[in-house]
Amino acid sequence: MTCIKEHIIKTSLDLFLTLGFKSVTMDEIATKLGMSKKTLYNHFKNKNQLVDVSSVELCNHVCNGVDEIVDAKNENAIEELYTVKKFVMQQLKSDDASPIYQLQKYYPETHKKITDMQYTHMENCIKKNVNRGIEEGYYRDNIDADFIARMYFIGMQGIKNLNIFPASKYPVNELYDKYLDYHIRGIVTPQGRKILNKITNSNHD
């Protein structure tokens, strides 16, 4: 990928995640880049292509970052989930759910592609996390890692539904914290619950 294309993708993503995938126009992107719209179209034939390429690039970046956190094993399994959550929120600028909602509504093919990529990656990461938590004694040893990974993914997709969880009532960051707490409490041992309570109490300080 050329440096110019990388610059276009980076700048476009910043606008998409701040203002929304539908809201941002090619004119605005070209202006932000300091180039003509004609030059922009030399690299991307239309906005749909730019949205698709930039979304896949973001997904790959987030997945690689999550892999680095998981593979580093610097924390226990419970702490690791909160570190992953914090990293993902930072990358997605997720104080606002509307950009992802716009991607789902106006660019369904791209949204499906990203969702499929996320599922494949998330399933593997959650399985690793569950097995590690069992080894550490923080998760119950009678749980099915594959089932937990699938349920986790379904729940993550569900809380993105603005009709069920309107942003006015459930701020994104707070909602993800609630879901993570819900997920972990269902699988922890008494020892793991102590760690979880310590984390959630510190988050409320």
Q: What is the pLDDT of residue 203?
A: 74
pLDDT > 70: what percent of the chain? 97
Assign domain 47-203 to its CATH superfamily.
Tetracycline Repressor, domain 2 (1.10.357.10)
Q: How confident is the model at residue 54 (pLDDT cuts 50, 70, 90)?
A: very high
Cα Rg, the chain, nearest whole Å: 19
User: Is it the case that residue 198 has pLDDT exceeding 70?
Assistant: yes
State the first-to-last Cα distance of the chain, in angstroms, to the nearest integer.
Answer: 45
Give the domain ranges of the chain: 47-203
Q: How confident is the model at residue 93 (pLDDT cuts 50, 70, 90)?
A: confident
Q: What is the pLDDT of residue 100?
A: 81
Beta strands (DSSP E) in 24-160 are none
Q: What is the pLDDT of residue 160?
A: 86
User: Is it the case that residue 165 has pLDDT exceeding 80?
Assistant: yes
pLDDT tens per residue across span 176-190 = 999 999 999 999 999
Helix (H, G, I), strand (E, B) or coil at 139: strand
Q: What is the pLDDT of residue 61?
A: 94
Q: What is the pLDDT of residue 173?
A: 85
pLDDT tens per residue across span 6-22 = 999 999 999 999 999 99
Q: How confident is the model at residue 32 (pLDDT cuts 50, 70, 90)?
A: very high
Return d(Cα 45, Cα 50) in angstroms, integer.
8
pTM for this model (two decimals): 0.90
User: Span 50-63, mean pLDDT?
Assistant: 95
Q: What is the pLDDT of residue 50?
A: 97
Q: What is the pLDDT of residue 96?
A: 64
Q: What is the pLDDT of residue 97?
A: 66
